[in-house]
Structure 1
Amino acid sequence: MSFRRHRISDELFTLMASGGGGAEAMRQLAAIERSKHLLLLRGVVLGARTAGHPGARDAADAYELLAAVQDKAPAAVEAVLCYPSVGAWLRTTVMELERDPARARPDGLAALAAAAAIRARAPLSVEVSTHDGSLVLPSLGVASVAEDRVTVRSTPEGARVGDVVIMPSGDAPGWRGLRRLTASANGHTLELMVDDLDPHRMAADVAGRLPDEELPWWRAALREAWQILTAHHPATADEIRLAYRVVTPLREPERGGQVSGTASETFGAVGVSAPPDGLTLAAALAHEVQHAKLGALQEVVRLTEPDDRSRFYAPWRDDPRPVAALLQGAYAFLGVSGFWRRQRRHQQIALYADAEFARWRDGTSKAVDTLMDSGLLTPAGRRFVTGMGRVLLSWLGEPVPAPAMANARHRAERHLTRWRLANGEPRV
């Protein structure tokens, strides 16, 4: 399994600082995340050996099985090793082997080898440890089993976990498979796996298994969102198509609306609660892909200094934020501002789009000023945030109808008032 060094060119860095990047940025960032997964994979094997873990031999054997499958079916191994929840599991296992080896389960690598073999339809028989009566096969699904260890058999004709038959997608007795959402518009297709099973799918308030009867609603919302994105936001659509392969349903917030999330340890997955409509989902995806880009970029370029416990006001949060989180939010809302800036040319309810553009353009500009004054940006971080500010400055000069501007200012003032009542005067 090969490794490579990664470098972001000055040209691409500048383009990303402006909020963009497009397909080329996502390809390079995905390659960075792939290398991270390979390093973590090797870290599990070496960490188990160094810690004298009882599962070290099984982990090493599973690594060799993965390498053997890769020789014949590299795409299948790639699909499993780069799967979002695998990144989270690898990271957690490496950390546990360093801090608390008794909790670590490095022999879980056998499940990765089994999943890769099944995807490749390659002959394989491997014994795998189960957990709480189930076996998770990343990117495929979950088998219900009673034994602590079970044999997974893969053949060109199909696969089994013990006596449980594995279905390519969907459910069978003892098996719950991952389902897909697909949307096509304007010559482009977005395919997302619905992962509502893997315990490492996202560190967020995840929902349980999505009922079959709710899937048509999700598919309709995704089709509408993808139509909007490909028609009016083609560069963003390219980023989303290359960034995300998994959607994880999140619990709906108590106060209604929609929540979404992206985590650096599960690159390739986006979490969303049930979308009320396609426009809301499109805006959420435009928001979250910014988080995905910045998280991957920061794997190779440090933009902020270590946390010194300073906390700052963010116009989109009710709590004070550390500088790294403020940068993440500002970059995400730079993308949101750009989304509404483009969308207001096409939106039938123009007042709403104009107000959203003004609200987040102005709020993000203030957050950029806070970042520049924080003293907690690295030289690269100052360059990056300066690029963000340059784009926002040009947008601040764009006229917004008076009713929309009044709406945006009222919401901003109301948010700041609530924040002051809860947290005191913000640091600026």
Structure 2
Amino acid sequence: MSPSPHRISVTSFAGLAAGEGGAQAVAELCAAQESKHRLLVRLLVAEAGAHRHGALVARAYEALSQMEADAPEEVGRLLRHPALGSWALSTCQGHAEPGRLAAVALALAVRTRTACRLEVPVGGSLMLPSIGLLSLPGDLPEVAEVTVEPAAGGAELRVGGRTYLVDVSGDRPGWQVLHRVSVAPGVSMTIDDLDPYRWPGDDADGRLTGERRRRWASCLHEAWEILRSRHRTVAGEVAAAVSVLTPVVARSAEQYSASARVTFGTIALSDPIDGIGMALTLAHELQHAKLDALSAVVELTLPDDGRRFYAPWRPDPRPLFSLLHGAYAHAGVAGFWRRHIQDAEHGPRAQVEFARWREAAHQATGTLLDSGGLTEPGTQFVATLRDTLGRWRAEPVTPDAAAQARLQSEHHREAWVRTNTQV
């Protein structure tokens, strides 16, 4: 369970700065995130010694280490699970129960088909990160012994004299699985609508109905086909980085999506509307995820000095790092629509979107470079991104599309000025 030091290669940094990076660059970011999660787990184990569940945590860590010797790749996949990292960070900050490490070990036992027996805190339910949720009777003690035995389709869990079938393919009495959607050989995403650490915001939605889940799966398949056929680099990056989709409550009739630094690998979104909208969501939020992971390894901005800046996509002034996030994400949006300009169905919209967001992101990179708030690597990163956007600005769109994009930008700026007292 040892972490490793990580750097981002010069080649990967340059590729990420240009707006993409590719699967190899994203793999480097994912490896760094896994090491961060390992560090957090080691820290929480070290600090749990004086905790009332300290002995329980130590036994869980020992079990994880023993299973890692036989299944290192499976341990790595589990440690990269976004909700696990979110819980580990919250625990190190003193806000979560360290005894949940026993549930992590039990989840690994299920994934690796390993017999295991551990004590674990329970409170009416037992969440197995990345697998599902077991509902338990309320008469169990605060800490219960749980035994895992491999079984067809998953595992049998014995708790308090009762036996439960943990089926990785579907729900069972007392058991709710985290459903997985396979979009290509070796590429699947988990719909996490159960784990209490799945999303740091207060807008997490509840369990999807079967009908909603089928809609998600249908849109995801359509989105993947669009990415695979028209955005191969983005598809490779999504396959490497995005493992979880988390439902959140819609804020309007439009598609809403978000990502968070503490849940790298998760994209939160409201019910998808169609395939191309979901493909755009994946491409957009992927940019945020990449920048979050990169900035955990390379400092791109100096400490916040309190200044706030105009962002051509927001109604409020933004700190410098948020402006950088928005510029990078909207460069991804422009790059997405750039590949659909000639489409019979989406071409007219694509031209407007491409024209608007290439200009908006280019404008923001100018603000960033003039701010004096970037580090040396940050300056290099933004200058490279600006070069990409500069080349895109020279690409033609129809006069009507250019006029629409310009009008939308002007209206946004006018509304922003009316709302905010300082420009």
Structure 1 position 241 matched with structure 2 position 239: yes
Q: In structure 2, how many angstroms separate the alpha carbons of the residues matched to 1:420 and 1:180?
A: 45
Q: In structure 2, how many angstroms separate the alpha carbons of the residues matched to 1:280 and 1:190?
A: 20
Find the counterpart in structure 1 of residue 372 from structure 2: 375
Give the alignment partner of residue 79 of structure 2, picking from 78, 81, 84.
81
The alignment partner of 2:411 has SS state of: helix
Find the counterpart in structure 1 of residue 89 from structure 2: 91
Identity %: 43
Contact 2:259-2:267 at 8 Å conserved across structures: yes
Q: In structure 2, how many angstroms separate the alpha carbons of the residues matched to 1:127 and 1:347?
A: 60
The alignment partner of 2:333 has SS state of: helix
Contact 2:56-2:119 at 8 Å conserved across structures: no
Q: In the TM superposition, what is the alpha-carbon distance from 1:213 to its structure 2 partner?
A: 1.3
Find the counterpart in structure 2 of residue 43 from structure 1: 43
Q: In structure 2, how many angstroms separate the alpha carbons of the residues matched to 1:281 and 1:424?
A: 36
Q: In structure 2, how many angstroms separate the alpha carbons of the residues matched to 1:235 and 1:348?
A: 23
Contact 2:117-2:145 at 8 Å conserved across structures: yes
Q: In structure 2, how many angstroms separate the alpha carbons of the residues matched to 1:79 and 1:23?
A: 17
Q: What residue identity is the alignment partner of 1:9?
A: S
1:204-223 deviations in whole A, cap 9, x for unaligned?
32111010111221121111
Q: In the TM superposition, what is the alpha-carbon distance from 1:347 to its structure 2 partner?
A: 4.9
Q: In structure 2, how many angstroms separate the alpha carbons of the residues matched to 1:348 and 1:397?
A: 24
Find the counterpart in structure 2 of residue 284 from structure 1: 281
Q: In the TM superposition, what is the alpha-carbon distance from 1:161 to its structure 2 partner?
A: 5.1
Cα distance change of structure 1 residues 169 and 161 upon mapping to structure 2, 3 Å threshold? farther
1:167-187 deviations in whole A, cap 9, x for unaligned?
213211111111112224xxx
Give the alignment partner of residue 124 of structure 1, picking from 110, 116, 120.
116
Structure 1 position 142 matched with structure 2 position 133: yes
1:333-358 deviations in whole A, cap 9, x for unaligned?
11111111112133523210000001
Q: In the TM superposition, what is the alpha-carbon distance from 1:104 to its structure 2 partner?
A: 4.0
Q: In structure 2, how many angstroms separate the alpha carbons of the residues matched to 1:210 and 1:8?
A: 38
Find the counterpart in structure 2 of residue 100 from structure 1: none
Q: In structure 1, how many angstroms separate the alpha carbons of the residues matched to 2:116 and 2:32?
A: 30
Find the counterpart in structure 2 of residue 167 from structure 1: 167
The alignment partner of 1:139 has SS state of: coil
The alignment partner of 2:390 has SS state of: helix
1:123-144 deviations in whole A, cap 9, x for unaligned?
111111023x221110111111
Find the counterpart in structure 1 of residue 107 from structure 2: 115
Contact 2:6-2:32 at 8 Å conserved across structures: yes
Find the counterpart in structure 2 of residue 152 from structure 1: 146
1:234-280 deviations in whole A, cap 9, x for unaligned?
00100001111111111112x31011111121111111111110011
| Superposition pairs of residues 13-412 of structure 1, within 5 angstroms | 13-49=13-49, 52-96=50-94, 103-131=95-123, 133-145=124-136, 146=138, 147=140, 148-157=142-151, 158-160=155-157, 162=159, 163=162, 164-184=164-184, 190-204=187-201, 205-253=203-251, 255-412=252-409
Q: What residue identity is the alignment partner of 1:142?
A: L
Q: What residue identity is the alignment partner of 2:232?
A: P
The alignment partner of 2:93 has SS state of: helix
Contact 1:76-1:117 at 8 Å conserved across structures: no
Q: In the TM superposition, what is the alpha-carbon distance from 1:150 to its structure 2 partner?
A: 2.7
Contact 2:334-2:354 at 8 Å conserved across structures: yes
Find the counterpart in structure 2 of residue 99 from structure 1: none
The alignment partner of 1:61 has SS state of: helix
Q: In structure 2, how many angstroms separate the alpha carbons of the residues matched to 1:340 and 1:18?
A: 17
The alignment partner of 2:65 has SS state of: helix
Q: TM-score, normalized by length of structure 1?
A: 0.93
Q: In structure 2, how many angstroms separate the alpha carbons of the residues matched to 1:272 and 1:61?
A: 37
The alignment partner of 2:180 has SS state of: strand
Contact 1:347-1:353 at 8 Å conserved across structures: no
The alignment partner of 2:397 has SS state of: coil
The alignment partner of 1:156 has SS state of: strand
Q: What residue identity is the alignment partner of 1:412?
A: S
Q: In structure 2, how many angstroms separate the alpha carbons of the residues matched to 1:189 and 1:259?
A: 28
The alignment partner of 2:253 has SS state of: coil
Structure 1 position 7 matched with structure 2 position 1: no
Q: In structure 2, how many angstroms separate the alpha carbons of the residues matched to 1:349 and 1:85?
A: 36
Q: In structure 1, how many angstroms separate the alpha carbons of the residues matched to 2:291 and 2:55?
A: 37
The alignment partner of 2:75 has SS state of: helix
1:350-389 deviations in whole A, cap 9, x for unaligned?
2100000011001111111111111111111001000011
Q: What residue identity is the alignment partner of 1:313?
A: Y
The alignment partner of 1:203 has SS state of: coil
The alignment partner of 2:167 has SS state of: coil
Q: In the TM superposition, what is the alpha-carbon distance from 1:76 to its structure 2 partner?
A: 3.0
Contact 2:127-2:134 at 8 Å conserved across structures: yes
